[in-house]
Chain A
Amino acid sequence: MLLIHCPYCQEERSELEFRGAGDAHIVRPADIASVSDEEFEAYFFLRDNPKGLIFERWRHIHGCGRFFNAARDTVSDKFIVTYKAGEPKPEIGAAAEKHAPVETYEAVEGEAQ
């Protein structure tokens, strides 16, 4: 079970209190009614499924109720940083290097070194 730091409550709380809410920093087009099919597809349907760093949204639904953003490693499930909604996407470079990602079980199956 994940341990998640709520940037509003300033506390680490159990995953049970949170709900994931998909990718972060997906900007809803200002004039959404007039975007092209391709732009709408990219905005609403297409998502990367990165191995490694992901920026995603969480809601502290059984706590303060606020939505916030997180940078997480999808392989190790470690949170690099969580930050308030609306804050700019943080630079992760240095932090990501400091935290070494590990392989998943599935990735090492059959090739344990």
Chain B
Amino acid sequence: MSGVNRIVGKGRLTPAKTARFSFDGETYTALEGDTVASALIAHGVHLLGRSFKYHRARGILSAGAEEPNALIDVARDKARKQPNVRATVQEVFDGMIVNSQNRWPSLAFDVGAVNNLMSPFFAAGFYYKTFMWPRAAWKSVYEPLIRRAAGLGVAPTEEDPDHYASRYAHCDVLVVGAGVAGLSAALAAAGTGAEVILCDEQAEVGGALRYDAGVTIDGQEGYAWAQKAVARLKAMDNVEVLVRTTAFGYYNHNFVGLAERVTDHIAKPSQDLPRERLWQVRAKRVILANGAIERHMVFPNNDRPGIMLASAARMYLNHYGVAVGTKVGIYTAHDSAYEAAFDLKRSGVSVAAIVDCRQAPGAAVLEEARALGIDVLTGQSVINTAGRLRISSMTVARNGGGSPRKIAVDALLVSAGWTPSVHLFSQSRGKVAFDAESQRFLPGSYAQDCLSVGACNGTDDLQRTIEESLAAGELMAQATGRSSGEKIAISAEQAYDWTGGMIGAAEGAGPKTNAKAFIDFQHDVCAKDIRLAVREGMHSIEHIKRFTTNGMASDQGKLSNMHGLAIAAEMLGKEIPQVGLTTFRAPYTPVTYGTLIGHSRGELFDPTRKTPLHNWEEAHGAVFEDVGNWKRAWFYPRAGESMHQAVARECRTARESAGIFDASTLGKIEVVGPDAAKFLNLIYTNAWDTLKPGKARYGIMTREDGFVYDDGVVGRLAEDRFHVTTTTGGAPRVLHHMEDYLQTEFPDLKVWLTSVTEQWAVIAVQGPKAREIVAPLVEGLDLSNEAFPHMSVAECTVCGVPARLFRVSFTGEIGFEINVPADYGQSVLEAVWANAEPLGACVYGTETMHVLRAEKGYIIVGQDTDGTVTPDDAGVAWAVSKKKKDFVGIRGLQRPDLVKEGRKQLVGLVTKDPKLVLEEGAQVVANPNEPKPMTMLGHVTSSYWSENCGRSIAFALVAGGRARMGETLYVPMADRTIAVEVTDLVFFDKEGGRIHG
């Protein structure tokens, strides 16, 4: 059976189509189309969870996206499990596993409920005040404890096996909300031929028509009209209808994010379907038809299971065919709740009484209530309720202190009126305006090309809503260039015109009371908490919100914000608009990370760059490291070798014989044109017009402020052609920087810049036997020292492939860098290796590259410099031209701070104990016995074990470093202080003879 509270003949679900699911281990039968909430209510289950702070028993408050209470954990299996799902939104599928949250050991008996008894100690601001000191305890003790106690759901521990899709969409008119307003607007817009997207967060269109049985449109029941209207729209080629799709964010320039739940309602979804799909819609015009959200009444103990919004009870009855109770009370300040009583009564459910805090409800509803024999108590209020796990009675008294009397009920329907959903409008940066007469915020001035229609625009009358929406649909379509469509006429009738509404605390929850009258259910914020916040000095609504956490739960205060605002305004003695409204932020309802991430996970999260030599390196046992997006060969361990041993061997071999290194990741920019040299003169600190074709030079690039930006070797291939290399990580930004100056500062220069990083594979051969290895492979070029000395470049043929050969060295040995077209990289490397291996050469990785360059005092920009280092600080002042009248950075280098004495300068450090290797980043001090905080002189930038020097070596940036040669400084570490001596940067082959062979 699908539940004892299912009323035969009511609702729109098919009794024959059932689905079984479990809730906290019990198995229940639902009907297809049920939400978890409707299915459980059908079985008389109202208790769904425990509240966040007091662990009070909570039930189902609403029938929609605004639900603050009924948060559940939904699972298909161990990995497919999602916490904090709203039971009022989640549709049941066969085999679904549902569990309640925030209770232990069980939902009915929850130990945490002791918090409720201790609530006087847990007033608003309790956590802020109590857990302040000691500060260190916050992270390790307080926060983990509080988080465990204040439990929402538990995150799944396994990786999400589902996949998520995302797509961009463009349309003329996006209509958000498919109630009567949205459908009308979409019909009118689509009628002009405009491209329309219509989305709705629910499984079926209709909005309020799903519960409001009193509406007739074009002579039929409202819901039936809505289904016909959407069928018409779906049949049109220019319309896309998306259900189960929430417009969660309204961003700049009419960019709206939609989250479509594709499979969450399907028992056995096809593996091909994404679980959810993110739609990023760029709409020329947007129509907001978001409707309104009913508010609850704020009165003592208004949070028991069985207490719910009146419209929700109508939804469960009219759409799902479920009665929310057997003896139902109504407590309202608005006429709309009367219709819930009428619907229930007509369906055979006993209505205990309608308690209306107003003296004069609408005459029409009052008359109908009498005709149906429903007891209406006007000018009276519910001042308390009873019932441990479900409401059992309400206590009613005349306003202003009449004698209370208990009325037994098993459900209490409440309504304080309706809050227009201006969330998306506000997110679009439109300004809301407070309408004093109806006591609500409505769309005021628009910031983007959108229009609000219907209930979210404050339009109450049904016929006016339709007309306003039809007009908006046509207007917005025409604004995108469409001509007017066929005139559409829709006539509608509603059973009653509604009046009334209140915001703030009702009887029994006023300033002099201490009752728990909840305004924010999910965060357990009561009316008295707002008042306490004001008394404690919070006068801005933003402060009150943060102090009480009102509206800060996952429902973002959809029900509570207006009540909180009204209570604060009353306490402050101000008008509501003067107190202001807190900000509406995206997302409107929670969006899963999966939806936002889409395909960008695992290997697709970030691209991996591999050099053309990668496969060869892998086959030769390379261990790779990540350098930016690149995978670079780090070292090549032989059998049984540790990293340290491998690097020591590679370092030794490169200097004894030769080493082969993959330098393909270096950024490469081809600078071409009659003004190429002139341009490089402006971009680099060096002078380039003196560089002859066939020669190369090490260049330093500074920013306009004088700090080192990048470095690299530049070869001149011809008068008008340079081959520029940059650091591996710097390539994109250096090109951007060059383009910036070329396009905007020096646009008259005739220069063309091309990134060729990916076009060339670069094989570096370094060491005494480098020439012996390379020469046999090169055609048409004499590699002798005389013909092709250090810092030469030539275009030639290597292994029959057109190549650019550099004689350069980053090791201090004879070095060649063979540039060949990327696709030939591996075959050339194989040829190089065939020559190298018999000579006892090795292939080495980035770690050895680092050590070898440090032995020779060569800096790495970005490691030994940090954006506050000048060429002089880094010891490369020789690269700054003294003759040039202009280059980027020329003026910055003269700034007082950059030329003053005592700047940090890059120097070498050797530890007194040669076996000790310093830690990179360690601080350097002069006096290790100085009381803390010590005077820091600088820090270690590079540090290695140098096998070739037989000791450790390091670079450091040290204040006044070059004047400290031979001085003893100290590196204080956690366990000891290390004495070091300041040296110059060159540790190996100080005379520099090896590089010339």
B885 CB within 8 Å of chain A: yes
Give CA–CA (A67, B253) in the complex, Å: 22
Say whether A108 contacts B542, CB under 8 Å: no
A100 to B433, CA, bound (A): 17
> Knowing A61-B736, A85-B747 touch, does A110 contact B580 (C-beta < 8 A)?
yes
Contact of A102 with B583 in the complex, beta carbons under 8 Å: no
**Can you list 13 A-B contacts with CB-CB less than 8 angstroms, sorted by A residue number?**
A14-B282, A21-B740, A31-B886, A40-B891, A67-B743, A76-B447, A85-B744, A109-B583, A110-B579, A111-B578, A111-B580, A112-B434, A112-B577
Interface of A is mostly: loop
Q: Which residues of B contact A29 (CB under 8 A)?
A: 891
How many residues on chain B are close to A (CB under 8 Å)? 46
Per-residue B-contact encoding for A58-82, CB less than 8 Å = 1, 0 else: 0101000111000000001110000
Q: Among B251, B577, B578, which residue has its beta carbon within 8 angstroms of that of A1?
A: B251
Among A16-74, those with CB < 8 Å from B are 19, 21, 28-29, 31-33, 35, 37, 40, 44, 57, 59, 61, 65-67
Instruction: Give the residue name and chain of the A residue nearest to B743 (CB).
Output: A67
Residue A2 CB within 8 A of the other chain: yes
Whether B430 and A102, one on each chain, are in contact in the complex, defined by CB atoms closer than 8 angstroms, is yes
Residues of A within 8 A of B251 (CB): 1
Q: Is the CB of A113 within 8 A of B577?
A: yes
Residue of A nearest to B444 (CB): A113
B445 interfacial contact with A, CB 8 Å: yes
> How far is A77 from B251 in the complex, measured between Cα atoms in Å?
10
For residue A3, CB closer than 8 A to chain B, the reply is yes
Residues from chain A with a CB closer than 8 A to the CB of B447 are 76, 102
A79 → B minimal CB distance (Å):
8
Q: Contact between A44 and B540 (Cβ–Cβ < 8 Å)?
A: no
* Residue from A14, A67, A78 in contact with B740 in the complex, judged by beta carbons closer than 8 Å: A67
| Given A44-B704, A76-B429, A113-B577: A102 touches B445 (CB 8 Å cut-off) | yes
Other A-B pairs, 17, CB within 8 Å; known A14-B282, A32-B886, A77-B253: A2-B252, A3-B252, A31-B886, A32-B891, A33-B890, A35-B891, A37-B895, A59-B739, A85-B747, A86-B747, A102-B447, A105-B583, A108-B580, A109-B580, A112-B434, A112-B580, A113-B434
Residues of B within 8 A of A (CB): 251-253, 255, 280, 282, 426, 429-434, 441, 444-445, 447, 540-542, 577-585, 704-705, 736, 739-740, 743-745, 747, 885-886, 890-892, 894-896
Given contacts A102-B431, A113-B431, contact A65 B739 (CB under 8 A): yes
A contacts, CB < 8 Å to B: 1-3, 14, 19, 21, 28-29, 31-33, 35, 37, 40, 44, 57, 59, 61, 65-67, 76-78, 85-86, 100, 102-106, 108-113
Closest to B578 in A: A111
Docked-complex contact A66 and B441, CB < 8 angstroms: no
Question: With the chains together, A86 CA to B748 CA distance in Å?
Answer: 11
Bound Cα distance from A104 to B578, whole angstroms: 17
Q: Is B252 within 8 A of A44, CB to CB?
A: no
Q: Shortest Cβ distance from A95 into chain B, in angstroms?
A: 17
Q: A40-B891, A102-B447 are in contact. Are A113 and B433 (CB under 8 A)?
A: yes
How near does chain B come to A84, taking the closest CB pair, in angstroms? 10
A14: which B residues are within 8 A, CB to CB? 282
Contacts of B255 in A (CB 8 A): 1, 3
CB < 8 Å neighbour of A3 from B282, B430, B704, B895: B282
Main secondary structure of the interface of B (DSSP, over half): mixed
A31 to chain B, nearest CB (A): 8
B434 CB contacts on chain A under 8 angstroms: 112-113
In the A-B complex, the 4 residue pairs with the closest CB atoms: A102-B447, A110-B580, A3-B253, A112-B581
The answer to whether A33 and B282 touch across the interface, beta carbons within 8 angstroms, is no
The distance from the CB of A4 to the nearest CB of chain B, in whole angstroms, is: 9
Q: How far is the CA of A86 from the CA of B282 in the complex (A)?
A: 31
Quick one: closest A residue to B280, CB to CB? Answer: A1
Q: Which of B578, B885, B892 contacts A40 (CB 8 A)?
A: B892
Taking a contact as CB atoms under 8 Å apart, the answer to whether B891 and A77 are in contact is no
User: Chain B residues near A3 (CB, 8 Å)?
Assistant: 252-253, 255, 282
Residues on B with C-beta less than 8 A from A104 are 429
Chain B residues in 8 Å Cβ range of A32:
886, 890-891
* B280, B434, B444, B894, most chain A CB atoms within 10 A: B894
How far, in angstroms, from A1 to B895 measured CA to CA in the complex? 39
Partner of A112, one of B431, B740, B895: B431
Contact status A109-B542, CB under 8 Å? yes
Chain B contacts of A76 at CB under 8 A? Answer: 429, 447
Give Cα distance in the complex from A76 to B430, angstroms. 10
Give bound CA distance, A106 to B255, whole Å: 20
Q: Does the CB pair A112–B441 fall under 8 Å?
A: yes
Question: Closest chain A residue to B580 by CB distance?
Answer: A110
Bound CA–CA A102/B445 (angstroms): 8
A108-B431 in contact given A32-B891, A33-B886 (Cβ < 8 Å): yes
A40 and B895 contact, Cβ closer than 8 Å, known pairs A3-B253, A33-B885: yes
Which residues from A are CB-within-8-Å of B579? 110
Q: Contact at B253–A103, with CB atoms within 8 Å?
A: no
Select B896's contact among A1, A37, A105, beta carbons within 8 Å. Answer: A37
Closest to A111 in B: B580
Give the shortest distance, in Å, between A105 (CB) and chain B (any CB): 5
B430 to chain A: which residues have CB within 8 Å? 102
C-alpha spacing A21/B740, complex, angstroms: 9
**C-alpha gap A108/B739 in the complex (Å):** 41
A77 to B255, CA, bound (A): 13
Per a CB cutoff under 8 Å, which of B431, B433, B542, B885 touches A103? Answer: B431
**CB within 8 Å for A105 and B540 given contacts A2-B252, A65-B739, A112-B434:** no
A31, B886: Cα distance in complex, Å: 8
Contact of A77 among B252, B432, B892 (CB under 8 A): B252
- When distances are taken between beta carbons in the complex, the residues of chain A under 8 Å from B890 are 32-33
Smallest beta-carbon distance A59→chain B, Å: 7
Q: With A and B bound together, what is the CA distance between A103 and B444 in angstroms? A: 12
Minimum Cβ distance to chain A for residue B400 (Å): 33
Is B744 a contact of A57 with CB atoms below 8 Å? yes
- A35 to B885: give the CA distance in the assembly, Å: 12
Q: Which residue of A lies closest to B432 (CB)?
A: A112
Known: A40-B891, A105-B429, A110-B541. A1 touches B253 (CB 8 A): yes
Please give the distance in Å from B893's CB to the nearest CB on chain A: 10
**Interface-central residue, A31, A85, A102, by most chain B CB under 10 Å:** A102
Residue of B nearest to A3 (CB): B253
Per the bound structure, the CA–CA distance linking A113 and B541 in Å amounts to 14
C-alpha spacing A86/B704, complex, angstroms? 20
Give every chain A residue within 8 A of B895 (Cβ-Cβ). Answer: 37, 40
Shortest distance in angstroms between A106's beta carbon and chain B's nearest beta carbon?
Answer: 8
Taking CB atoms, residues of chain B closer than 8 Å to A44 are 704-705, 892
Specify which of B253, B441, B582, B743 is in contact with A109 (CB 8 Å cutoff): B582
Closest residue of chain B to A1, judged by CB? B255
In the complex, are the beta carbons of B739 and A67 less than 8 A apart? yes
A20 to chain B, nearest CB (A): 12
For the complex formed, measure the closest distance between the CB of A39 and the CB atoms of chain B, giving whole angstroms: 9
Residues of B within 8 A of A100 (CB): 445
